[in-house]
Structure 1
Amino acid sequence: MPADDFSLRKIAIPAYGPTLLYGLATGAILPVIALSARGLGATVALAALVITLTGVGSLLTNVPATIVTTRFGEKWALVAASAWCALAMVLAASVPVLWVFAVAVFMVGMAGSVFGLARQSYLTEAVPVYFRARALSTLGGVNRIGVFIGPFAAAGAISLFGTAGAYWVGAAAAVGAGILSLQVPDLAVRSPGAGAAVSAPDAGPAPTVRSILRSHARVFRTIGIGVLLIAAVRATRQAVIPLWGQHIGLDPTATALIYGLSGAIDMLIFYPAGKAMDTWGRRSVAVPCMLIMGLGLGLLPLASEATGLLLAALLIGFGNGIGSGIVMTLGADFSPSPGRPQFLGIWRLLADIGTMAGPGILSGVTAAASLSAGIGATAVLGLLGAVVLWTWVPGRKAAVGSITG
């Protein structure tokens, strides 16, 4: 697709519609997974473990997802992931057995890995480089909007059918995502074309995960570490706001309102973030994203009442919001073609490791010292991430592939 002929409007519904519905599907069930597990007889500790199964499913499926996407293409990978997610939701809603429910939650994580890889790979190929960050930050923003809407969409069904209603809403949304995915235009060629900026195809053997890991080792151990730190801080920020609210004695309603306002500012600025990346370079957003989140987290333990917590939460939300799409954009920039799905699978694996590690560090430091120390450790991760990204993310005039190899 020549850059001069590109129009995001032509692919907006098939590119973003499935993401909105898939985000709604996952958002609908997130608040009730622990409640469902408890209702099926799980202890509090076991219910917490069940919640982590979505992350475990995603983590373990990132690399296998590359095989699905490479063999069947992005379009059919999206359809298959949506169908798998819908099946998981139906199992969770209709089979009241704890181990079946746990398997269903794991399946949701598996589906999310394939769906996320396929949608990122498709937009990277379909969108020209000069528009890439806006396209991918919009993708991240649309997903956040779907997740935000999900609990509200499920509320009515829950009032009628109990917690199972959330999973039926999720199943319907996942089916809708699959149907819309059928409208995704096929890519004429899987080559650099408009969407690739790093590697030219060669006539050598087909790339594998191992060969991509070897040829792009320097990217993974530099910018990849920065991506891991971004994911760690983002995952931890979701826990620290309610935990600190409880610590200073706020009632759950006030804490939920503060958390919601932080999420709202996060959602509202995804497109300006993408525009900034396309105009001034990736570093112009990646570094401030981590600095602002690190600053917000550092200020959080100083909050002793609702106003202080709100200001820190808004700062954290703003920092996360300006980084909308940054992980996907950096992955797209450095992914080679051929070999893009394999590269992005490894990239998503690094992000998922960070997502799992961040709350683990918070928990460990809190257990060893205090909650404020745990939050402080997370703030340090944010500042460390800013240093790593400043060091390794190319400036505006640098070649995107300048550290590949």
Structure 2
Amino acid sequence: MPSPPDATTPSSSPSFTLRRIAVPAFGPSLLFGIGEGAILPIVPLTARDLGASVPIAALMVALIGIGSLLNNIPASFITMRWGERWAMVAAGLWSALGMGLCVGTSHLGLFAAGCFMVGMSQAVYNLARQSYMTEAVPIEYRARALSTLGGVMRIGMFLGPFLAAGAVHAFGLSAAYALGIVAVVGAAAVGARIPDLEAPPLPPGQGAPAPATILSTLRDHRHVFLTLGVGVVLVSAVRASRQAVIPLWADHLALAPSVASLIYGLAGAVDMLVFYPAGKVMDLKGRGWVAVPSMLIMGLAMLLMPLTTGTVTLLLAALAIGFGNGIGSGMIMTIGADHAPRHGRAHFLGVWRLMSDIGSSCGPALLSFLAASLTLAWGIAATGLIAFAAAGTLAHWIPRHGDRGGRRREPEG
């Protein structure tokens, strides 16, 4: 596979360190993650209080993901029009408005609209932050930066429910939304302070390129979307399914809910501990050194999970899943950044994120279908096979050039 054009790569800075951009780059992600994590467990409870049935309450949570899925392409237009910095600010404020609508209404339809708004803001924010980091960070540090970005967001999502639990205990369900609003507005405030990206200079004698469109992006990069993009869909399907696999199999083994929660939490803790070392390996050795093992480990753990018979064996399988998922933190963003053109980058990343969200939506749906039509064990095993298919796809299509990102950097100009 030919390596992507070098024009997408910012100039290297020998004095660059991730510490220099820690607060402006990672602070908003932590706060945004806390804000969303704070309300996610509360959304179905609020819906039930508003008179929703259990299926409708579950749909309210799904609307957040649907809002993100349907707005990846519009998010690219917003980012292209306003720039990454103001797109992140707008996303934080829009999320706050959505949360405010959720807590301020007694009408289920308006509550649903608020949930959808939160999903919309998620699409805009995630695309804008990835686009910004792709341009702002030299390629030598790209995987570490994007792995840390993904890891920090996960930490925020992990902390959010715990902070919300204390607030809800003291002040009621509305306090979770208040916490969420404060967090996402804080993310917008910090994001407003990051410097704007400068437009890259045009090569001597070359005029301004024609404006990029979604159609031209699909046409010009169709090979990437039809190869690595398929791998992204498979990876996202496995990752989304893992969140249901552990608690469902724990229930199948008749483990106590507290034990199931502990196993899930320990797997999540392992997930959050390994993102930076994995990013460093991707930068130093290449993307495939992490992306392929991530899927192989998750696939093997899921194939073995139906063979587990108790707490200890399930815990070992769950920890393996957490480790495999953790080392893959940021890999989808990194591979997308490696192939994104500088001109029309937001459109490319919008399509890239759309493919990821399609996988995230289809994975749990396939697990549910197989569990209902066959058995839960077959559903989990099938998810493991999808992970192996993802590993094979990535192993075949991730460029092998001996350099970090599958491309060589050339001096600009």
Q: TM-score, normalization: structure 1?
A: 0.95
Return the offset for 1:30. Answer: 1.4
Decide whether the 8 Å contact of 1:282 with 1:396 is kept in 2: no
2:111 aligns with 101
178-187 vs 317-326, which moves further:
178-187
Q: Is the 8 A contact 1:283 1:396 kept in 2?
A: no
Separation in 2 of the partners of 1:192 and 1:363? 51
User: Residue 192 and residue 265 in structure 1: after superposition, are their counterparts in 2 closer, same or farther (change >3 A)?
Assistant: farther
Report how many residues are paired.
395
1:370 aligns with 2:375: yes
Unpaired runs of 5+ residues, structure 1, are 194-200
**1:336 match: secondary structure:** coil
- What is the match of residue 140 of structure 2? 130
Task: Tell me, yes or no, if the aligned pair for 1:191 and 1:337 is still in contact at 8 Å.
Answer: no
Segment drifting more, 389-398 vs 277-286? 389-398
* Runs of at least 5 residues in structure 2 that lack an aligned partner in the other structure: 1-10, 409-413
- In structure 2, give the amino acid aligned to 1:400: G
Aligned residue in 2 for 1:243? 248
Does the CA contact (< 8 Å) of 2:167 and 2:176 recur in 1? Answer: yes
Q: Distance in 2 between matches of 1:302 and 1:202?
A: 62
Alignment of 1:69-218 (within 5 A): 69-190=79-200, 203-218=208-223
Alignment partner, residue 270 of structure 1 = 275
Quote the Cα distance in structure 2 between the aligned partners of 1:231 and 1:282: 17
Deviation at 1:190, TM superposition (A): 4.3
Is residue 41 of structure 1 aligned with residue 51 of structure 2?
yes
Structure 2 Cα separation of the partners of residues 396 and 144 of structure 1: 31
Greater shift after overlay, 109-118 or 156-165? 156-165
TM-score, scaled to structure 2: 0.93
Matched with 1:343 is 348
Give the counterpart letter for 1:149 in structure 2. Answer: L
Q: Deviations over 1:154-205 (max 9, x none)?
A: 1121113322221111011011101101111111224699xxxxxxx97331
1:4 match: secondary structure: coil
| Matched AA of 2:303 | G
Q: 1:355 to 1:161 in 2, by over 3 A?
A: same
Aligned partner (choices 396, 400, 406) of residue 400 of structure 1: 406
* Structure 1 residues 236 and 317: alpha-carbon distance in aligned structure 2, compared to 1, 3 A threshold: same
Match of 2:60 among 25, 50, 53: 50
Could you tell me whether the CA contact under 8 Å between 1:292 and 1:316 is conserved in 2? yes
Partner of 1:198: none
Root-mean-square deviation (CA), in Å? 1.6
Residue 317 of structure 2 is aligned to residue 317 of structure 1: no
Percent of pairs identical after alignment? Answer: 54
Q: What secondary structure, in the 3-state scheme, does the structure 1 residue paired with 2:152 have? A: helix
